[in-house]
Amino acid sequence: MDKTGKVKKLGVALALGAGVVYWTWRQSQRAEKQAPEISTAEAQKLLEQAAPLLRLPSSPDHEPEVLPDGAGLRCPVTGQILPYREGILWLLEGDERERTITQQALDTSLSAWAYDAARGWIVRALGALDFDQDAALTQERLRVEAGDVVLDLACGHGNFTVEWAKRAGDDGLILGLDYSPAMLEQAVYHIRRWGLRNVLLIHGDAHALPFADGALPKINCSGGFHQFPDLPQALREIARVSAPGAVLTTSTFAEGKNDPRAGIKRWFKRTVDLHFVPLVKLGEQLTALGYKDYTWSLLGGWFGYAAAIKT
């Protein structure tokens, strides 16, 4: 076959592949619309349960007021309304902050769906743990039990959020916070699909967490640290909102001790803002913020797992 024939064949294959991806995505969007919503009474209950833990930037010393019918929150100082709509508490509406390339990459409904569909393949290709193994390893440190309150930071499409919500049960409360509306919408789908009533999804920013000082006993952040533009600031916020004895678990693209791939990893940080978090330094940062019992491991050379306890 001549060169033009090969190019034509490749074009047809790519067009077919794109068609299959688009069709699958459209089907999943349809399924999303069919998942049952939670009632206004359930939304109200969720917000009332979460309100004592929540703090808005405009009123850091006051608990926000819960609006009737689970419609959202009101700032007790400015009167600003923060709506709860389509399964999400929207705290960043009108936020004009510039987002990094990696943040933008996961903020369309197509890319959020593709991430959800392909995450298993990606972690396997990187030699990291698959979801069940990752959740089991994290659970060894996080120990989520019935009635627990857990923050799933950078919850994305809600894979870990669903896992913790099932373990925490009806008396528990799982707060899933993410910066990407598209990823949160994907999480709404999974939470409804599993019929979970104990999850409050929040559109928020890890660099300015909307929680009271010392409010949270368990925080998990899977796949988030490598995306945060200012990880030290996010760590300060995590430490601020953590209760004494609180557990922090994380998995992230990471750099190990004397890492042979440090050069390429730092190149990723410079070019696409994908941070390979140096795990030894992370331990030092957490210790300086009052954490103890830091443990870490790097699997497959790319992906790291770490945990620590707030004193």
Of 1-9, 43-51, 81-89, 204-212, the segment contacting ligand SAM by CB under 6 A is: 204-212
The first and second tokens of residue 62, run together, are: 């006051």
> Minimum Å distance from CB 261 to ligand SAM?
19
* Alpha-carbon distances of 16 from 11, 27, 89, 163, 276, rounded to whole Å: 9, 17, 38, 35, 35
Binding piece for ligand SAM, criterion CB under 6 A, among 142-150, 202-210, 258-266, 273-281: 202-210
Which of 180, 158, 156, 155 minimizes the C-alpha distance to 99?
180
Q: Tell me the per-residue interface mask from 228 to 267 with ligand SAM, x by CB under 6 A, - otherwise.
A: x---------------------------------------
Closest CB to ligand SAM among 120 and 244? Answer: 120
How many angstroms separate the CA atoms of 228 and 209, rounded? 13
Of 149, 109, 128, residue with least CA distance to 223: 128
Nearer to ligand SAM, 47 or 183 (CB): 183
Stretch 106-145: interaction string toward ligand SAM, x if CB under 6 A: x------------x--------------------------
Which of 246, 231, 223, 224 has the alpha carbon at shortest distance from 292? Answer: 246
Helix 181-193 / helix 159-168 crossing angle, nearest 10 deg? 40
Nearest to 116 by CA among 165, 177, 189: 189
Binding residues among 144-163 for ligand SAM as defined by CB under 6 A: 154-156, 159-160
**With respect to ligand SAM, which residue has the nearer C-beta, 66 or 184?**
184
Answer yes or no: are the C-beta atoms of 91 and 82 closer than 8 Å: yes
Report if residue 44 touches ligand SAM, rule: CB under 6 A: no
As measured in angstroms, the least distance from the Cβ of 156 to ligand SAM is 2
In the complex with ligand SAM, the residue whose CB is nearer, 66 or 277, is 277
| Shortest distance (Å) from residue 287 CB to ligand SAM | 23
SS3 state at 263: helix
Shortest Cβ distance from residue 274 to ligand SAM (Å)? 10
202-to-34, 36, 96, 161, 260 alpha-carbon distances in Å: 22, 19, 17, 12, 38
Taken in order 210, 214, 217, 222, is the CA torsion positive or negative? Answer: positive
Interacting residue ranges for ligand SAM, rule: CB under 6 A: 103, 106, 119, 154-156, 159-160, 178-180, 183, 205-207, 222-224, 227-228
